[in-house]
A and B are shown apart, each in its own frame.
Chain A
Amino acid sequence: MDLTTLTYIVVGASFALYIGIAFWARAGSTGEFYAAGRGVHPVANGMATAADWMSAASFISMAGLIAFKGYDASVFLMGWTGGYVLLAMLLAPYLRKFGKFTVPEFIGDRFYSSTARIVAVVCLIVASITYVIGQMKGVGVAFSRFLEVDATTGLLIGTAIVFLYAVQGGMKGITYTQIAQYCVLIVAYTIPAVFISLELTGNVLPQIGLFSTHTESGVPLLQKLDTVVQELGFTQYTAQDGGTLNIMLYTLSLMIGTAGLPHVIIRFFTVPKVADARWSAGWALVFIALLYTVAPGVGAMARLNITDTIYPNGPQAEALAYDERPDWFKNWETTGLLAFEDKNGDGRIQYYNDKATAGDGNLINPAWAGNELKVDRDIMVLANPEIAQLPNWVIAIVAAGGLAAALSTAAGLLMAISSAVSHDLLKGTFMPNMSEKSELLAARVSMGVAIAIAAWLGLNPPGFAAQVVALAFGLAASSIFPALMMGIFSTRVNNVGAICGMLSGLLVTVAYIFTFKGIFFIPGTELLANTVDNHFLGIAPEAFGAVGALVNFGVAYGISKVTAEPPERIRELVESIRVPRGAGAATGH
C-alpha cells in the first residue's frame, strides 16, 4: 500500500475516534462544559493535561531545536517540565479548592476587583491566541506534507473536527479526546525513536541510547556527534554556547510561564478532590516525561543521521552529490523546508557553518563557497522516520501524532479563551443576571467564534507567528503566575497592589520584547538589534519573563504595604483555600 493511502487510513481512523467521542461526551450544564463535571480521574486528567500541554511545538519542533542547539536546548527540557513542580506545589491544589471555573475568576475574587479580573482576561486571551496560531500552522504542515492536500484544506478539516467536539462537549468532550490524542501522539513519537536508537546504538530505550556507544564508529554517540559537528564548524553538541545567566533565566521564565498558562491550570479544575489535583500533576508529568526524556535522544540521533546522509564517508571525504540525494530529501524539498543551492557549482551538498573561522579542529574547505543546505528544524521529527528508512506505517502514525498534538493543544487553548469570554466577561462582568442555560449557550457561541478566529489566523498567519510564543510565555510568567501565587501565599497583597504588579510586570516584559523584536512585532520598529551585545546583562527577550515576574512581585508587595489591608472576608477566603477540607461543597455552585 502506498504511503498516502496508508496515511489517509491512519489519520482518518484517529479523526473518526475523535468524532465518536464528540457525540458521546455532550455537555449538559455549565459545570460539564467548563470543568467536565469535576469527575475526571486523576490519571485520566494527567493524560489529558499531557496532551493539552504538548503542542505542535513539543511534538514537531522541540527535538529539532535540541538537534541544532545541543546542550543549550536543555532550557526547554527543564523549563517545560520543571513548571509542573511549581504548578503542583504552589497553584493547582489551591485553585482546585477555590472551586470556580476560570483563572481570571480567582484573580477577580481574591483581589476583590473586576479590573484585576479583566487584566487577567486580557493576558489570558493574548497568550492563548498567540499560542493557537502555532498549532494551526502545525496542522497545516502535517496535512500538506503527508496527505498531499493543500494547507488550507487541511486546516479547515482540522478546525471542523475541533468544532464538533469542543462546541458540543466543552471541557468534557475535550478531556476525552485529549486522552485519545495523547495515546496517538505518544505512540507516534516513541516508535520511530525506538527504531532509530536501535539502529544507531543497539539500545531499545532512547534515554539510554543517547549515552551509549555509536555502533558504527565504536565511540560514544555524544562524543561522535561532538566531533562531527565541530569538524563542520558548529559548536560542540554538548558544549554550552550561550551565557550562563541567560540560560538560567530562560529556564526559570519557561518554568513559571508553564505554571501560569491558563489552559493548563484549568485542567486541574476537572478532578474531584484537592488530593486528586496533587496526584494528577504527578501523573501529568509522568506522561509528559515519556516524550520529554525521549526527545534529547531523538534530537541527537537526528543530527547525526542528517550529517551522515550529507557526508556518507565522514566530513573528511566528499559530500553527497545532489543527483544521488535520497527520496526523503526530494519529498521535503517540495515543502520548501529543505533547500539546496549549489553555490560553488560542484553538484555536491556542502553543509557546514559558514560563519566559523578555520581552526578549532574544523575541516572547512577553503574551496567551499558557503553553506548550501538550508534545513528547517521543524522537519527533524517529521522526516526522521524517512531518514532512518522506517516502514511506511510508521510515517503514517507520525502524521497522525503530529495532528493529535496540534489539535489537542488548540482545543485546550480555545477552551480557556471561550470560558474567559462567556464566564468572566459576559456572566461575570457585563451580564451578571444571565441564566445557566443562556450561559451555556454563550459558552458554545464563544467557543465557535474562537475557533473561527483561530482558523482565520491559521490561514492568514501574521508574519511574526514564530516570535509570539515568547510573548505567550512572557505574559504568563510576568503577570498571571505571580498574581496567582501571591493570591494564595499572601493575605496582605490587596487589589491595588495586585493590579499594579500585574501591569508593571507585563509592561516591563512586553517593552523588553518589543525593543528587540519590533513594536507589535512590526519589522523595522526594533529599537535595538536583537544581538547578545545589546541585551541587558545578556538576557534574551525570551528569557525576560522571569525579570518581569520579579518586578510584579516587588511592585505588588511594595504598594500593598502602603495601602489599605484587604477586607476580613478576603483573609477568610485565603484561609479557606489553604485547607482541602470542604472542597466537595465548593463544587456544588
Chain B
Amino acid sequence: MALKEDDKAYWAANIRLVTVLLVIWGVVSFGFGILLRPVLSAIPVGGTDLGFWFAQQGSIYTFLVLIFVYAFAMNSLDRKFGVNEE
C-alpha cells in the first residue's frame, strides 16, 4: 500500500499531464480549426487553407495521438507510483 503523500503526488502529476494534453486539444480544434483560421489562411493546403484541414482532418488525428499519449503516460505513471492494478 502506497503512502497518502504518494497518492497526492500521483494526482498532481496526473493533473499536469491532462492539462498539457487538453491545451493541445483546444489549440488544434478551437484554435487552428476555428479562431486562428484567418491567421493560417496564408498556408495553402490542396485548394484551401490549413485551418480548413485542421477543422475537417487534422484535429481528429491530433485527438487520436493525444488519447494514446495519455494512455501510455498514465499507465507508466501508475507503475511509477505503484498504484497500478496487479
Contacts A220-B46, A278-B70, A286-B64; is A247 near B78 (CB within 8 Å)? no
Residues in B neighbouring A27, C-beta threshold 8 A: none
> Of the 9-residue stretches A86-94, A108-116, A365-373, A498-506, which lies at the interface with chain B?
A86-94
**Contact status A222-B46, CB under 8 Å:** yes
- Please, how many angstroms separate the alpha-carbon atoms of A575 and B10 in the complex? 11
Contacts A220-B47, A575-B7, A581-B84; is A71 near B68 (CB within 8 Å)? no
- Please, how many angstroms separate the alpha-carbon atoms of A140 and B60 in the complex? 31
Fill in one digit per residue for B37-49: 1 if any A CB lies within 8 Å of its CB, else 0: 1000000011111
**Contact status A275-B60, CB under 8 Å:** no
List A551-584 residues whose CB lies under 8 Å from chain B. Answer: 575, 578-584
Residues in B neighbouring A238, C-beta threshold 8 A: 47-49, 52
Shortest CB distance A550–B (Å): 15
List B68-86 residues whose CB lies under 8 Å from chain A. Answer: 68, 70-71, 74-75, 78, 82-86
Contacts A81-B60, A222-B48; is A74 near B55 (CB within 8 Å)? yes
- Please, how many angstroms separate the alpha-carbon atoms of A524 and B35 in the complex? 36
- Please, how many angstroms separate the alpha-carbon atoms of A66 and B53 in the complex? 14
List A165-220 residues whose CB lies under 8 Å from chain B. Answer: 207, 210-212, 219-220
Contacts A222-B47, A275-B85, A278-B71; is A78 near B64 (CB within 8 Å)? no
Fill in one digit per residue for A119-130: 1 if any B CB lies within 8 Å of its CB, else 0: 000000000000
**Contact status A296-B78, CB under 8 Å:** no
- 8 Å CB contact of B85 from A74, A221, A584: A584
**Contact status A89-B56, CB under 8 Å:** no
**Contact status B34-A285, CB under 8 Å:** no
- The answer to the question of A406 belonging to the interface, with a C-beta cut-off of 8 Å to chain B, is no
- In the complex formed, the residue of A with least CB distance to B86 is A584
- Please, how many angstroms separate the alpha-carbon atoms of A275 and B11 in the complex? 16
- The answer to the question of A4 belonging to the interface, with a C-beta cut-off of 8 Å to chain B, is no
- Please, how many angstroms separate the alpha-carbon atoms of A503 and B78 in the complex? 36
- Please, how many angstroms separate the alpha-carbon atoms of A130 and B85 in the complex? 38
List A53-99 residues whose CB lies under 8 Å from chain B. Answer: 66, 71, 74, 77-78, 81-82, 84-85, 88-90, 93
- The answer to the question of A429 belonging to the interface, with a C-beta cut-off of 8 Å to chain B, is no
- The answer to the question of A273 belonging to the interface, with a C-beta cut-off of 8 Å to chain B, is yes
Contacts A74-B55, A222-B48, A282-B64; is A89 near B70 (CB within 8 Å)? yes
- The answer to the question of A223 belonging to the interface, with a C-beta cut-off of 8 Å to chain B, is yes
Residues in A neighbouring B75, C-beta threshold 8 A: 275, 278
Shortest CB distance B17–A (Å): 8
**Contact status A74-B33, CB under 8 Å:** yes
**Contact status B63-A223, CB under 8 Å:** no
- The answer to the question of A490 belonging to the interface, with a C-beta cut-off of 8 Å to chain B, is no
- Please, how many angstroms separate the alpha-carbon atoms of A296 and B48 in the complex? 13
Contacts A74-B33, A78-B59, A275-B78; is A580 near B84 (CB within 8 Å)? yes
**Contact status A278-B74, CB under 8 Å:** yes
**Contact status A251-B57, CB under 8 Å:** no
List B21-44 residues whose CB lies under 8 Å from chain A. Answer: 21-22, 25, 29-30, 33-35, 37
Shortest CB distance B18–A (Å): 5
Shortest CB distance A351–B (Å): 23
Shortest CB distance B10–A (Å): 7
- Please, how many angstroms separate the alpha-carbon atoms of A581 and B77 in the complex? 12
Shortest CB distance B1–A (Å): 8
- 8 Å CB contact of A93 from B7, B49, B74, B86: B74
Residues in B neighbouring A66, C-beta threshold 8 A: 56
**Contact status A583-B85, CB under 8 Å:** yes
**Contact status A90-B18, CB under 8 Å:** yes
Contacts A222-B46, A282-B71, A289-B64; is A275 near B84 (CB within 8 Å)? yes
- Please, how many angstroms separate the alpha-carbon atoms of A244 and B84 in the complex? 43
Taking A221-B47, A278-B70, A289-B64 as known contacts, 19 extra A-B pairs with beta carbons closer than 8 A to each other, sorted by chain A number, are A66-B56, A77-B59, A78-B29, A78-B33, A78-B60, A81-B59, A81-B60, A85-B22, A85-B63, A88-B67, A89-B18, A210-B57, A275-B71, A279-B71, A282-B67, A282-B70, A578-B7, A580-B83, A584-B86
Report 19 cross-chain contacts, Cβ distance below 8 Å, ordered by A residue: A71-B56, A74-B33, A78-B33, A78-B59, A81-B60, A85-B67, A89-B22, A211-B47, A223-B47, A223-B48, A240-B37, A282-B70, A289-B64, A293-B61, A575-B7, A578-B11, A579-B7, A579-B10, A579-B83
A positions within 8 Å CB-CB of B: 66, 71, 74, 77-78, 81-82, 84-85, 88-90, 93, 207, 210-212, 219-224, 226, 238, 240, 244, 247-248, 251-252, 273-275, 278-279, 281-282, 285-286, 289, 292-293, 296, 575, 578-584
B positions within 8 Å CB-CB of A: 2, 7, 10-11, 14, 18, 21-22, 25, 29-30, 33-35, 37, 45-49, 52-53, 55-57, 59-61, 63-64, 66-68, 70-71, 74-75, 78, 82-86
